[in-house]
Amino acid sequence: MRHIPSSDTVHAGVLSFEEALIPSAADFDRRRWIYVPDHYSEYRYILGTRGTHPLVCIGINPSTAIPDRLDNTLKSAERIALHNGYDSFVMFNVYAQRATDPDDMEKELNPVLHRENMKAFDWLLSQFPAPPDLWAAWGSIIEKRPYLPGCVLDMAAVGSRHGSRWFTAGPRSKAGHPHHPLYLKKDSPLDPFTDLTDYLHSLEKGTRR
């Protein structure tokens, strides 16, 4: 299945994160899954399995995955999380708009959607006994829109407040981009992403040229 946005998210309408947390009548096992909003829409804040020691995988934007119907990227992310000793995984995205092809993402940042996505990220990191580890896994897709590096910088600030650590898996590209999960082996180890801020600032400078 492919998701092509029906409109930009300004016109599609966006629930606040607080509103999106309110359960609907969606039919899935809430004891196993965390899914916000809990129904299919033009955007998704959070999708993952429940546990006390998750690995939070950070991609660029969601596609069609829902509980019990993960796409290949999320299946790979879950395998790598479990292999590295985590009891669960969560997929979070730099930008919350659903689009199977990142070229279909909206050209301009919707500040409301980004604000609510950062609320979701802040909430997520507060839900566990210890700050969850963050796996940068966006590949070169971060170059698709000029607003994306700034979104990750906001995420880095939230993560820093919570004391979360950043990691990559697999070799980074010549441009410094962390590897996308899709083609990684399940036994791929995690490596500290110590130059995250410098990397993001260099990307921001590149988008302004």
Summarised one tens digit per residue, pLDDT across range 161-187 is 999 999 999 999 999 999 999 999 999
Q: Has residue 4 been placed in a domain?
A: no
Instruction: Give residue 205's pLDDT band: very low, low, confident or very high (50, 70, 90).
Output: confident
What total of structural domains would you count in the chain? 1
Q: What's the whole-number mean pLDDT along residues 31-58?
A: 97
| 3-class DSSP state of 12 | helix
pLDDT of residue 206: 65
Q: Is residue 81 part of a domain?
A: yes
Residues in Cβ contact with 199 at an 8 Å cutoff, skipping those fewer than 6 apart: 176
Closest residue by Cα to residue 40 from 11, 56, 63: 63
Q: How would residue 12 be classed by pLDDT, with cut points 50, 70 and 90?
A: confident
133: helix, strand or coil: strand
Range 112-139 average pLDDT: 98
Structural domain contains residue 65 = yes
For a pLDDT cut of 70, what percent of the chain falls above it?
98
Q: Is the pLDDT of residue 209 over 50?
A: no
Report the pLDDT value the prediction gives residue 11, as an integer from 0 to 100. 86
Instruction: Evaluate whether residue 203 is within a structural domain.
Output: yes
With 0.85 as the threshold, say if the pTM is over it.
Answer: yes
Q: In this model, does residue 6 exceed pLDDT 90?
A: no
Query: Would you state the pLDDT for residue 190?
Result: 98
Helix (H) or strand (E) holding 122: helix 111-125
What was the pLDDT predicted at 7? 85
For the packed helices 148-162 and 196-207, what is the interaxial angle rounded to 10 degrees?
160
More confident residue, 12 or 126: 126
Is residue 157 domain-resident? Answer: yes
- Tell me, what DSSP letter sits at residue 97? B
Q: What is the mean pLDDT of residues 153-160?
A: 97
What is the pLDDT at residue 207? 59
Evaluate if residue 60 carries a pLDDT over 90: yes
User: Does any domain span residue 1?
Assistant: no
In a domain, 202, yes or no: yes
Rounded distance, CA 163 to CA 157, Å?
10
Q: Residue 16 is part of which domain span? A: 9-207
| Residue 28, domain member (yes or no) | yes
Task: For residues 13-31, give the mean pLDDT.
Answer: 94
